[in-house]
Amino acid sequence: RPPTAIQNKFLRVTFDPDTGLLSSLSNLETKQTIKLTQNFFWYNASDGNNSRSNQPSGAYIFRPNSSTPFTISKTAKTETIQTSVVQEVRQWFAPWVSQVVRLYADSRALELEWTVGPLPIDDDLGKEVITRLDTSIKTSQYFYTDSNGREVLQRRTDYRPTWHLKQSEPVAGNYYPINSRAFIKDDEDQLTVVTDRSQGGGSIYNGSLEIMLHRRLLYDDVRGVGEPLNESSDIYPDGLVVRGRLLLSLDRPPSAADAHRPLAQEVVLQPLLTFTDGDLH
Amino acid sequence: EGDSQTMKKAMAVAQHHDAVSGTEKQHVANDYAKRLANGWQHCQVLVSNSLAALSGSSAERIYCDNLNISVCPLTESSKKFSVNVYNPLARPVTWPVRLPVNGTAYAVSDASGKSVDCQVVPVSTATWALRRNRGSAVRELVFQVQAPPLGFTHYTVSLLQDEHPPPRVEH
């Protein structure tokens, strides 16, 4: 059974002992707590064989054939490591999805290090894997992404600020680029997710934030590439494995940027490590 | 002789063609990756030359590009090594470092010789599966480093206890 909680001076993270999933996040400095569940899902990629449109999902086009993603596993097998420097809960969801929930002793951010792949395609279904954070934050159909790493823009479900939108893609039509961060908020709480790479993301349900992690597709989207997005390599002949990190920060909305701006800076301009064998002269 | 021009050109090609979006044929993606890897090799020489000039040390610098999957031949096999930390931000940062190791206990000291709290944790089974026979570290050494603004510092790591002799790894 996973631990009930891990915590440092700044954050407390609880887990559901029955499922092994995250269940809440607290900022101990600001004394705020949100319900937070996180899990991994996959959208079945559209193969273009659809009465409404013959557009397959591909490199340029994200187009799931259903708005409801498949849950990869409702529970996670867990393993816990608790030391004075770092506390980790290692979650195993499937042979191709695992994660480490990590809290360093002096950190104000919770690290989620996800590992996804190789995506199985022996069922002949293209897969677009996401992680979804479901919270108690009352988002009222709004969420926020940075479009270019500088300006953060407000996004509203099924809405565009400069024209009347007739939404035809309930999921993909509400996905936006995330270059360094995305957040959801209400009057009390703001949950900011800082990413280590550009990703796609959306807030399809109130209180939730989902982020695309990995894709493996079987059809070309007929936009000029002429190949499906189905990459492998010498080391990973059965499909690529991807590992990345999300950093979560929970704050009051007026002061949230004080936390996520330096956090994102530290991710984008990380320290460079070099090594020297033996004694340094 | 190092340079950043090779990386600059590779980045220019990659950005012009939206190279990271997967909107190119696989052999083209392979070519972008090769150009970027070659660019980084040239940058490594440039960085080594700069740090050698600034630190006054011409000791060979090793780069570990696969730390995210707990692979670094030097830290896996060495009984004593130093970690140089360059901080590109204009403010001091505290940063967690995780190094693949095979020993069970290590001593870490900062540039002034002061001891730093460190812990050794096992490498996760997911990482074992991910690295596919690259690297042999069974543990990771975790500690926090503090680096000055737009500057560098170093930490010394010494093996205290070795449960099993580390496997021979060629650098």
pLDDT per residue as tens digits for the range B16-66: 988 877 888 999 999 999 999 999 999 999 999 999 999 898 899 999 999
In angstroms, how far is the first alpha carbon of chain B from the final one? Answer: 21
- Closest chain B residue to the Cα of A241, Cα to Cα: B130
Residue A188 φ/ψ, nearest 5 degrees:
-105, -40
Residues 1-20 of B with CB under 8 A from A: 20
Closest CA to A39 of A142, A126, A112, A125: A112
Q: How many CB atoms lie within 10 A of CB B37?
A: 12
- Rounded CA gap, A1 and A244, in Å? 26
With CB atoms and an 8 Å threshold, state whether B147 touches A271.
Answer: yes
DSSP A190: E
Rounded to an integer, what distance in angstroms lies between the CA atom of residue A90 and that of residue A127?
A: 24
Min Cα–Cα distance to chain A from B32, Å: 14
User: What is the token pair recorded at A253?
Assistant: 């909305």
From B46, B53, B36, B35, select the one nearest B4 (Cα to Cα): B46
- pLDDT (tens, 9 = 90+) of chain A, 281 residues, equals 566 899 999 999 999 999 999 999 999 999 999 999 999 999 999 988 776 778 999 999 999 999 999 999 999 999 999 999 999 999 999 999 999 999 999 999 999 999 999 999 999 999 999 999 999 999 999 999 997 667 899 999 999 999 999 999 999 999 999 999 999 999 999 999 999 999 999 999 999 999 999 999 999 999 888 999 999 888 889 999 999 999 999 999 999 999 999 999 999 999 999 999 988 76
Could you give the 3-state DSSP secondary structure of residue B26?
A: helix
Quick check: B150 contacting A, CB < 8 Å?
A: no
> HSE-up of B47 (CA within 13 Å, CB side)?
22
